[in-house]
A and B are shown apart, each in its own frame.
Chain A
Amino acid sequence: MGRWGRSQARFLSFFLPAAIFLIVLVIYPIVATLTLSFVAPDGSYAGLQNYGSVLGSPDTFNPACLQRGPPCGTLLNNLIWIGIHLPLTVFMGLFLAVLLQNVRGASFVKSLIFLGMVTPLIVVGVVLRFVLEYPIGVVPAFFGWLGIKSLDVNWLVTPNTLLLGLIFGTVWSWTGFSMIVYSAGLTTIPKDYFEAARVDGASEWQIFRKITWPLLRPVTLVIVTMTLLWELKLFDIVIGATNSQGGVGGAADVLALQMYRYFSNINYSSAAVVATLLTIFTLIVAVGLFRKLLGLPLRKKGRRTAPSVPQVETKSAKAAGDEGQGAVEGIS
């Protein structure tokens, strides 16, 4: 018992400063927001009423957009964003990582593509103006040159093109992430695997299907999770490219932006509702990753080539997931 107590005290003495920060500025605010989401503006307990009014609002969910065009509401916009952005960035990143595997100057090309990840997202939004707005942007000029009148417009003030334009903009800025992580994943696959397959006469496609893709599965899981978390928290880029209303008629409005608007209008209960919903979504995504990674068998073989990184023997699968998590927290 005494030893336990001593160990406890030593642990606490190291953890205490961090604990104070976390309790005051993370845990307490999370609990307070959760509580706030159940409180009516006059301070009385409101049950799920706030949730009902936020989710029932066409600002959040407007399925009529299927017939009548944008806006679709923040929730649907985030979902559309995920539906287009997630597959595109994952596969383009994988394609580029594989393509650049044996290219001279690959690290420079990767840096060019990765530049969008290093740039502040608010600036990425502003940069998109120089691509999508008429007459300064390349995209309208390109379609004008092709003679396609319907796309030779200012993409950022046309409801039908705004959301799509921003989604493609985020594909441009985020692909660097999956490319870099996949590239790192590729270096962990021993070269002998590829060479043995080639000696046996396998085609490049077979090599990809039978070796590269299966061995990259844990990496794919990390990338998909990080990308999902990032897509749910989209905020800066929309403001940078449009305004805090989510563009014309809210065509590119997203959940985080809606929360910010409620906050600015001192509608704290609704702000808390949107924040809580967002948190629920992100936790579902994150917990999925942890569970899967904990269940994965440790594949020792493929990790032989890790440079300068001593191996963590126990719980290495868990550490892998955590680490990627930390990575994105730093950049998203």
Chain B
Amino acid sequence: MNASAPTKRAPMRSRSRWVRIRPRTIVIHVVAWAIGLAWLLPFVGVAMTAVRPLDQTSLGWWRLSPFSVTLDNFVAVWNNPGCPLSLGLRDSFLVAMPATIIPMLVGALAGYGFARFQTRSRDYIFLAVVLFMAVPQMMVAVPVYNLMIRAGLISSLLSLILIHSAWGIPWIILFMRNFFRTLPLEVEEAARVDGASDFKIFYKIVLPMSLPAMAAIIVFQFMWVWNDFFFAQVLIQNPNWYLSTQCVPRLVGQFVRPYDLLSAGAILTMSVPVALYAILQRFYIRGLVGWTIKG
């Protein structure tokens, strides 16, 4: 009976999906989708509060009458006098873009060095670099703060760009090294025979082959910098230069809860990483689990 089962199943497969829907399958689908939608509920609440006037939602966003849609809340946080999100979002972009590109290039360069050139100390350095990834940001906060004061960079976006670049380098080195090790050596060796220098090989041959890995790094590092709150809190003390993540909690008053502003600010701040994730999900997931568990 067992022996005949596979041969019997094979021709049925194309139709069986539709013909034999077992109750179990239906239950699994209902449960899975219900969980997914339930998971979204907190965001639904925030979105509902953001697009409606506060007097309609202050007793619960699920009360649907009266119901009217407005963009006033978004306009209000955009121009909020205490911390205008228009500037916060702009500054977040101004930090996140260079703080993605710089460590990507520097890290890729170093990762190539780790992948290709054998030296006696290389593996020890590599182990140290890997361990840096586990170190919490808090461990560098005070000295970096003092360093930036001495350099005259405190409360400047440049200070954040620098620390985020340094902070992103270890994982990018690791990620790129593992990627480079999967590339075939033959092309590079052929170029070397033709007299190309190491650097020329790197940016003419290796970098173009690394675009998928770079995409993963861009999504990851950009999101990581954009979502950061701790380094921004430590280094940006001047309200004129607050990033968007710093603006959002500052909308909360001591006793009042401006839920309308808070929800609109939350949505604007999270919209950028969410959009990035939606567009480049493939690379994000690859970066997350990518070469790791599967390697």
Contact = CB atoms under 8 A, between A and B. Distances in A.
Interface string A240-257: 100100000000000010
Contacts of A218: 293
B119 A7 contact: yes
A330 B142 contact: no
Contacts of A312: 178, 181-182, 291, 295
Interface in B21-44: 25, 28-29, 31-33, 35-37, 39-43
Contact of B139 (A29, A188, A290): A29
B67 to A, nearest CB: 16
A140 to B, nearest CB: 9
B58 interface: yes
Contact of B162 (A8, A25, A121, A131): A25
Nearest to A239: B249
A260 B233 contact: yes
Interface residues of A, number: 116
A235 interface: yes
* Chain A facing B: main interface SS: helix
A109 interface: yes
- Measured as residues with beta carbon below 8 angstroms from the partner, the interface class of chain B is 35 or more
A129 B226 contact: no
A261 to B, nearest CB: 11
A193 interface: no
Contact of B135 (A28, A236, A279): A279
A102 B28 contact: yes
B57 A184 contact: no
A153 interface: no
A133 B45 CA distance: 12
Nearest to B109: A14
Interface stretch (B68-76, B79-87, B255-263): B255-263
A128 B29 CA distance: 28
Interface of B: 2, 5-6, 25, 28-29, 31-33, 35-37, 39-43, 45-46, 49, 57-62, 103, 106-107, 109-110, 112-114, 117-120, 122, 125, 129-145, 147, 162-163, 165-175, 178, 181-182, 198-199, 202, 220-221, 223-224, 226-230, 233-234, 245, 248-249, 252, 257, 259, 262-263, 265-266, 269-270, 273-274, 277-278, 281, 285, 287-295
Given A109-B35, A115-B274, A312-B182, 10 more contacts: A13-B199, A21-B166, A22-B169, A113-B39, A118-B273, A127-B43, A271-B142, A279-B136, A311-B182, A320-B293
